């Protein structure tokens, strides 16, 4: 690549995914939206083109653990959003999880597609906002919702409660998985 060529956001994210893990179609749609419209996407959420660096900081000196999370986003407080690859599902079917800056580890959506729907709601900080409440930034994410509807055929619900609750019920072991690793390695 010459110095005058610029990679797309999706190419940057893909380069930082674990080897052999393809960018899910819905995360690709978010990257394309960002390339076309710029920030903000939704609240403080940002695409993380340096996901491998985030994975290394969460799981230092543990290549196996680093390969089990594909970081694609971050929040304003240093939190990371990632696909949890521990169950061997395809990237399009993996849960999206939060590695929180304040020690919270939780599943946010059962799939990347559901995560996109959650972003379309317009919450400022997915880890801190009350997902039962109507988001304050609903109007600011209208363009993203339209993009997701056109590209992926999905609509965002009025609140993110059902998406996040279903993910936590389906993946209650995620927090234990991270905290057990921390207990053994710190």
What pLDDT is recorded for position 5? 60
Instruction: Tell me whether residue 139 is in a domain.
Output: yes
Instruction: Tell me whether residue 16 is in a domain.
Output: yes
Instruction: Tell me whether residue 2 is in a domain.
Output: no
Instruction: Tell me whether residue 175 is in a domain.
Output: yes
Alpha-carbon dihedral sign for residues 108, 109, 114, 116: positive
Close Cβ partners of 79 (under 8 Å, ≥ 6 residues apart):
98, 99, 100, 101, 127
Instruction: Tell me whether residue 113 is in a domain.
Output: yes
**Chain mean position to CA 106:** 12
What pLDDT is recorded for position 77? 85
What pLDDT is recorded for position 180? 87
Please report which helix (H) or strand (E) contains residue 81, including its range.
Answer: strand 80-84
Q: What range does the domain containing 146 cover?
A: 9-180
Q: Structural domain tally of the chain?
A: 1
What distance in Å separates the CA atoms of residue 1 and residue 145, rounded to the nearest whole number? 33
What pLDDT is recorded for position 186? 72
User: For 57, phi and psi rounded to 5 degrees?
Assistant: -70, -30
Give the β-pairing of 46-47 and 69-74: antiparallel
What pLDDT is recorded for position 160? 95
CA atoms within 13 A on the CB side of 37: 18
Close Cβ partners of 143 (under 8 Å, ≥ 6 residues apart):
33, 37
Determine whether 41 is exposed, middle or buried from the number of CB atoms within 10 Å of its CB (0-12, 13-18, 19+). Answer: buried
What pLDDT is recorded for position 128? 87
What distance in Å separates the CA atoms of residue 27 and residue 79, rounded to the nearest whole number? 17
- Here the tokens at position 131 are 């997902």
Q: pLDDT tens, position by position, for the chain (186 residues)?
A: 444 466 789 999 999 999 999 999 999 999 999 999 999 999 899 999 999 999 999 999 999 999 999 999 998 888 999 999 987 779 999 999 999 888 889 999 999 999 999 999 999 988 889 999 999 888 999 999 999 999 999 999 999 999 999 999 999 999 888 888 888 887
């Amino acid at each position: 690549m010459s110095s005058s060529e610029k990679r797309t956001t999706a190419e940057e994210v893909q380069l930082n995914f674990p080897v052999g893990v393809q960018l899910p179609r819905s995360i690709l749609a978010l990257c394309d939206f960002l390339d076309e419209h710029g920030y903000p996407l939704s609240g403080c959420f940002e695409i993380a083109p340096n996901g491998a660096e985030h994975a290394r900081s969460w799981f230092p000196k543990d290549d196996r653990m680093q390969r089990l999370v594909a970081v694609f986003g971050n929040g304003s407080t240093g939190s990371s959003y990632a696909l949890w690859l521990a169950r061997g599902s395809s990237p399009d079917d993996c849960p999206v999880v939060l590695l929180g800056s304040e020690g919270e580890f939780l599943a946010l959506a059962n799939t990347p597609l559901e995560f996109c729907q959650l972003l379309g709601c317009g919450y400022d900080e997915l880890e801190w906002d009350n997902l039962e409440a109507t988001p304050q930034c609903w109007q600011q994410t209208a363009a993203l919702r339209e993009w997701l509807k056109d590209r992926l055929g999905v609509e965002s619900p009025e609140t993110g409660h059902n998406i996040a609750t279903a993910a936590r019920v389906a993946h209650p072991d995620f927090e234990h998985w991270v905290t057990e690793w921390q207990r053994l390695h710190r």
